[in-house]
Structure 1
Amino acid sequence: MAFVTLSWILWLWGTVLVYWLSPGPVRLLVLALVSLVFLLVYDPLSAALLCIFALMCHIAGNRESVPTAALAAVVSSMVAILIFFKIGVVNRDLALLQTVLIPLGLSFYTFRCVHFMMERYTGRVPICSLRELISYLFFLPTLVVGPIHRIDDYLKDMARQRFDPRMLSEGAERIVYGYVKLAVISNFLVERLFGEWILEHPDQDGALVAYLLIVKNGLNVYLQFSGYSDIAIGFARMLGFRVLENFNWPYLQPNISSFWRSWHISLSRWCREYIYETVVSITRNPALGAISTMLVIGMWHEISTRYIIWGIYHGLGLVIWQYWQGIKARWMPTVPQPLVGFVYALSVLLTVHFVWFGFVIIYSGGLRETLVIFDKVFLWWL
């Protein structure tokens, strides 16, 4: 499903219209029904899986006390299904998985279901009615592209549902902002104009072109992801919900830890709460927690060698940053005040380039091509 299309815009505005014209008591169920119809139109398999996941969560999660066995059974089943489809996307040469494509929104609603089960297991959220759970899991604005919004925030917004022209206006403005990012800045200015300018450079095999392509790709990744998030957040706001912000100027962060607190915030927060804190509590090893977290984030995108390497790359970056904090605490107070701003700017520059070079691992043709690109950029004088 492409979101820079007339059909999606019609779905968006049609949903807002139907939602607010529906009677208050059934409004959320109407929205869930619209979401179900949307999935049935574009991906019936995804609709079936989401219905099954919702039923599993309701039966296992909405108890006074969620048994550990029930939590393990439900979470492992959903994660196994997610892994099956993600492996199928990559390994098209395997006969069993030749026709497997990942269902629409599976990655996002699987993590929302796991979040619900974990929060119920720890008792941090109350028992939800079937109506509340269905309206949360079948929430169309975040169904396909995220963010992975939280059940507690959703229930609070649901409790104070009312038509608010100001939120409607804010949401529409945010949607326009998202489309400007996608269509004007990313597709036209960066991909087309900047891309054509790069292709006109006489030395196509040189270091400068290789570097500029890395910059172009880094800009596009951010603009595309954050643009989709803007549309989803604006869509939700038009329905009276304030879902979690997903990007907070990540390319202006001074270190890799701050970057991951500002990039795909809902996924980073999910993994920090359920992966990092769990691993650290068991092993007492923050380095292992960081690497495990980044491996999960990588494989959430795709279970493949390139994303595993990318996850290890960022995990090691976080480990180095953790150790650097001890060194930094000793020498930073000795830096002259006029140089503090320069050090900060240098930190931002190093961080964003660390991230951009990480994208090369994902988008190149393989490890060999990645090393060739790095060789061009870093060893251009040889």
Structure 2
Amino acid sequence: MVRLGVCYCWWDAVLDAKNDEGVKSFFAEVYETYIKYFEMELFNAQKLRNQIEEYAEEKVLRRKTAKLAKNVLEIDEDYENILSGSLAIKVAEGAFKDVQNDKVPLLAQGFVSVTRKFSFAKDVRNWLVGKLVAEFPDCEVTHDVVAQRFLDEDAYEENQVPHMKTRIENCYNSFEESLRTINTKDMWATYLSTIDNLENGPRTYSEKYVQVTRRAFETTGKFGEELFSLLMGTKEYQQALAVINHVINQELAEGVDKITNLLVKKMDLLMSVKSMKFEEFSKEFFDIQRICDEKSMHQDAERICVTVANYLQGNNSYMKDPHAKDFFERCFQLRPRCGALFEGVSGLLAGAHI
């Protein structure tokens, strides 16, 4: 077969390059080459299958259809391999030998993703998953692939599959089981991504997504900013404040010099909570100013002061609070410009009875 001869000449050239250390250093490029060739074999199998089906569906005599079936059975072995997708497995086998062992799971995961485009490639997919489970049982990629396997073909035809909810639940259960063994940030991130894709998409988040994000944060100490945004969206302000404080403290402990975005988010939260006591508001505000001083973030401190001064100007209830006097006295002790910002807010001093 001419096609096979051409392809294998090209493939041999790729395999011959394995002795070149320069090629191995560019795994991403080689990865794309393997994926494309693997997909090409499955695409060719799909094309031939379609041709056979189209011929069989034509209004022809039964004996012609029978003759076709007989001819299919008598096809040479190479042709049968193309129809079944077995050549894709040969490509995968060659690719696995050509890359470093620790890169095999990622490459296998890429091949599995390709097989989901082809309804006839279930055997190929099963072979790939079986290899991962047998040779890389404790790898994060393996656990991800096994969990996603519950969704294989049916996930793409959700409206037509009566048992889709069960399959989704099986997928979640598989992740839960995996997390008992591999409890890492990457595994939690993959789990959250799966929930996001299955349930609501990027704009809105299900109760399940919020629940798992909480657990991911509690378990790994990561995903704090994402959880903060979710809690803000559900108006769980007190919990959101605890989360953002944790994230800020974590960044400070790790020696991060610039945390402007986090401080601004915290200030936005403080101004969103209508029921917050002024004493608590004051405490959190000066904590932000302290961090700005320690990190020499003077311009950021001034911008936050401007925001707060404008906010207080429209919030008369705070001006009647007994702690308002102490608040403004401390404000005047800040850097000259920050203190002047509060002095210049019309009506604040009179409202605070200073």
Q: Which TM-score band (shorter chain)? A: under 0.3
Q: TM-score, normalised by structure 2?
A: 0.25
Please tell me whether Structure 1 or Structure 2 has the larger radius of gyration of its CA atoms.
Answer: 2
Higher relative CO (Cα under 8 Å, sequence separation at least 6) belongs to: 1
Q: TM-score, normalised by structure 1?
A: 0.24
